[in-house]
Amino acid sequence: MIERQPFGRTGHMSTRTIFGAAALSRVTQAEADRTLDLLLEYGVNHIDTAVTYGDAEQRIGPWMERHRRHFFLATKTEARTYQGAWDELRGSLERLHVDSVDLWQMHILVDPEEWEVAMGPGGALEAFIEARDQGLARFLSVTGHGVTVAAMHKRSLERFDFDAVLLPYNYPMMQNSQYAADFEILMSLCQERNIAVQTIKSLTRGPWGDKPQTRATWYEPLEDQADIDMAVHWVLGRSGVFLNTVGDIHLLPKVLDAASRFQTAPSVEDMEERVKKLEMTPLFV
């Protein structure tokens, strides 16, 4: 089974690996159902989805009719206005077959102009606060990609006391000195306020570039179990963070297997050797 820890101040004991439901964006219902069975097998009790994850919410809906009590359920919106966010939340609740979600997240909020809209008068933040007050979303979060995301999350937390954040975290990415510095500042702030920190892109080998895209992920992922073990264990070696799983159902079993066997983080020397051998590069520059 996979270790659990408090998901910030929400009171929920989440598995340290959170199911990233982007993996369900283009699968059949039968494939989705088999994936749920796998989550139950490993005790994963937290699902992270989004309006923009293809068919993911529709695929999760039938699960929720049978297993809602087993999962902390999160979804996301990229809408930046009050009305747009409300419309997307209502659609998510309908597709997910639920009356409320545990966590509602402003997705990919990294562009400064979009940030001003979302956080300003008539912006999505007003809908988020209302949804929480009405019991439709118990907790609120902000997510993002790119090299500026940690700094932007800090700005968001200075504007509003979100319950969680989500951003990239892997060994190659943390070799970017500015990103690493911003990440550490954000981590300190989150620890101080007991805000949950979710991490993504743990299995990134690098951009696809000219290679044929053979997986559902929009980046080239690690494939071999030993490589996945090292990447997963490196993330889980960071105290307090959660690892959101890979966006491909066929790689998911390897990630869950690695997480279930986690004991200690690999050394810097081992990580450097693996990065060189696999020619791993940052996804965001």
Each of the 285 residues of the chain gets a pLDDT tens digit; together they read: 899 999 999 999 999 999 999 999 999 999 999 999 999 999 999 999 999 999 999 999 999 999 999 999 999 999 999 999 999 999 999 999 999 999 999 999 999 999 999 999 999 999 999 999 999 999 999 999 999 999 999 999 999 999 999 999 999 999 999 999 999 999 999 999 999 999 999 999 999 999 999 999 999 999 999 999 999 999 999 999 999 999 999 999 999 999 999 999 999 999 999 999 999 999 998
Domain map (residue ranges) of the chain: 4-278
pTM here is 0.97
Q: DSSP assignment, residue 267? A: P
**pLDDT score recorded for residue 93:** 98
Q: Are strands 17-20 and 4-6 parallel, antiparallel or unpaired?
A: unpaired
Query: What phi and psi values does residue 101 have, to the nearest 5 degrees?
Result: -115, 160
- Domain range 4-278, CATH architecture: Alpha-Beta Barrel (3.20)
**pLDDT score recorded for residue 131:** 98
Beta strands, E only, the chain: 4-6, 13-15, 17-20, 46-48, 72-77, 101-106, 137-143, 164-168, 196-200, 204-206, 220-221, 241-244
**pLDDT score recorded for residue 140:** 99
Q: Is 54 left (phi over 0), alpha (psi -120 to 50) or beta?
A: left
- Yes or no: say if 205 and 172 are a contact pair by the CB < 8 Å rule: no
Q: Which residue has 């959170």 as its token pair? A: 18
Q: Report the run of H or E that residue 248 belongs to, with start and end.
A: none
